[in-house]
Amino acid sequence: MLGSMATVILKGTWDLGGLGVLIDRAVQYDRLVGPEMAFDPRARMGVLAVLIGGTLFKLQADGISQPIVQRYLTLPNSRAVKHALILGISGFVIIIMMCVYIGLLVFAEFYHCDPITTGLAGARDQVIPLYVLKSVGDFPGLVGLFVAGIFSAALSSLSTAINSLSGVVLADFVEPYRKKPLTERQTAFVLRGVVVLFGLISMASVPIVQRLGLVMQLSTTVAGITCGPLLGAFSVGMLMPFIKTESLLVGMSGASCLIAYIVIRAQMAIYNGTLTFPSKPVSVEDCDYSFDLPDNWNVTTPASLGESGSHGIHEISFLWYTAVGSVGSILGALLATLYFGRQDPRAVDRELISPVLRSYWYGEYKRVSSDEKKCVALGQVEAKMP
């Protein structure tokens, strides 16, 4: 994928006339913009949403998600995990920068004739292939190289996610209910069957997904329903050993319901047109082909959030979803502790607690043996008895 993207970048920059032309057009038409310096949580790319919400989303994606943890477990030690994490984040930054550069190349090429407005591209995700075809279409094989690179990266991530799901289904929903352990052949059959099932579900969901907006926003939105509460659960487990499992389940359930409501309400508002985002004007002044213009082809949405009469919670930026889910889980678990009570932190192995807080919770206390754990648990039960 990196090779195909680099080829398009080099060829596009050469055809455009150099980096200076690219920057001049981006600056002239206000396409080089940073996060909005607004503290309103409804600002889609506000500075706080990017720094706080984006950081928490990336934290759960690279720290606690099932696919990434499964990859970490294949490494020999924690040092190798740290090295892999540094390399992964570095590669992610490089890919994002290359994507931004290609986006600027596309605008610099079509700044005088927007292909979506003219109908040359039927949707936003068709603009990049159109540009690649126009830029390197004269060179045999380069268009296919670009498409193969993009598809290989997408299928690699998809296959990793589906394989992780199959492992979760096997470990949590099949093996616990078996009286006898599965044979190697039976395990392989179950794993392959689950992979095929989730693959079919993914294919069937394509017509729905393509109607729900931008892929980046949609992936962050859907992930916020589960990944935010999951991040909160990991935070509670590593930082607050006095919280019981029952309290954590209550907190996660409440946070998941809250995020699900926000997500569903926001998607309905976007689909109905009651929730819109500011857009920049485009031009069709110098098109060299004929086309029909829609009546509202260059209408932009209001850029001021303060003038809006609606202040629903579903209007917050999608980057806040993970933060709301994780903080909601923690606060819900703390509130539920008032009903379920606290547990003795010594019931939790100190090795599972963050090294920063081990001395605070345990002091000179080292670890709990199985017998000591039973005594601690038994003491908690006796304390509840009249």
> Is it the case that residue 120 has pLDDT exceeding 80?
yes
pLDDT at 327 over 90: yes
C-beta atoms surrounding 255 within 10 Å: 27
State the DSSP string of 100-130.
Answer: HHHHHHHHHHHTTS-HHHHTSSSSGGGHHHH
How many domains in the chain?
1
**Would residue 363 count as lying in a domain?**
yes
Tell me what pLDDT residue 335 has. 95
Q: How far is CA 218 from the centre of its chain?
A: 8
Would residue 132 count as lying in a domain? no
Strand, helix or coil at 377? helix
Give the model confidence (pLDDT) of 328-342 as tens digits: 999 999 999 999 999
Q: For the stretch 119-158, what's the b/e string if a residue is b when 16 or more beta carbons lie within 10 angstroms of its beta carbon?
A: ebbeeeeebbebbbeebbeeeeebbebbeebbeeeeeeee
pTM given for the model: 0.77
Q: What is the pLDDT of residue 303?
A: 43
Residue 215: the pLDDT is 66
CA gap 378, 213 in Å, rounded:
54
Average pLDDT over residues 179-184: 86
For 158, 169, 176, 191, 320, the CA distances from 173, given in Å and listed in that order, are 22, 5, 6, 12, 32
Write the CA distances from 55 to 40, 224, 237, 295, integer angstroms. 18, 13, 20, 41
Q: 57-61, 115-119, 368-372: which range is least confident on average?
A: 368-372
Higher confidence at residue 209 or residue 96?
A: 96
**Residue 380: pLDDT band by 50, 70, 90 thresholds?**
low
- Answer whether residue 56 is part of any domain: no
pLDDT digits (tens, 9 = 90+) for 228-275: 899 999 999 999 999 999 999 999 999 999 999 998 888 888 777 777
Over its C-alpha atoms, the chain yields an Rg (Å, rounded) of 26
Residue 11 included in any domain: no
Mean pLDDT, rounded, for 204-230: 75
Range(s) of the domain holding residue 372: 345-386
- Over the stretch 26-53, which tens digit does the pLDDT of each residue have? 888 888 877 778 788 888 888 888 889 8
In contact, 284 and 380? CB cutoff 8 Å: no
Residue 356 lies in a domain: yes
Closest CA to 12 of 96, 128, 91: 128
CA within 13 Å, CB half, 52: 13
> Can you tell me the distance from the alpha carbon of 29 to that of 49, in angstroms, rounded to the nearest whole number?
25
Judge whether 352 lies within some domain: yes
pLDDT tens track for 265-315: 888 887 777 777 777 888 888 887 777 776 655 544 444 444 445 567 888
- pLDDT at residue 383 above 80? no
- What pLDDT score was predicted for residue 308? 46
In this structure, the number of other CB atoms found within 10 A of the CB of residue 91 comes to 11
The mean pLDDT value of the chain amounts to: 82
pLDDT tens digits, residue range 62-111? 888 888 888 888 899 889 999 999 998 898 899 889 989 999 999 998 88
Residue 371 has pLDDT above 60, yes or no: no
In a domain, 244, yes or no: no
**What is the predicted pLDDT for the residue at 328?**
94
pLDDT of residue 167: 86
The better pLDDT of the pair 116, 329 is held by 329
Domain assignment present for 360: yes
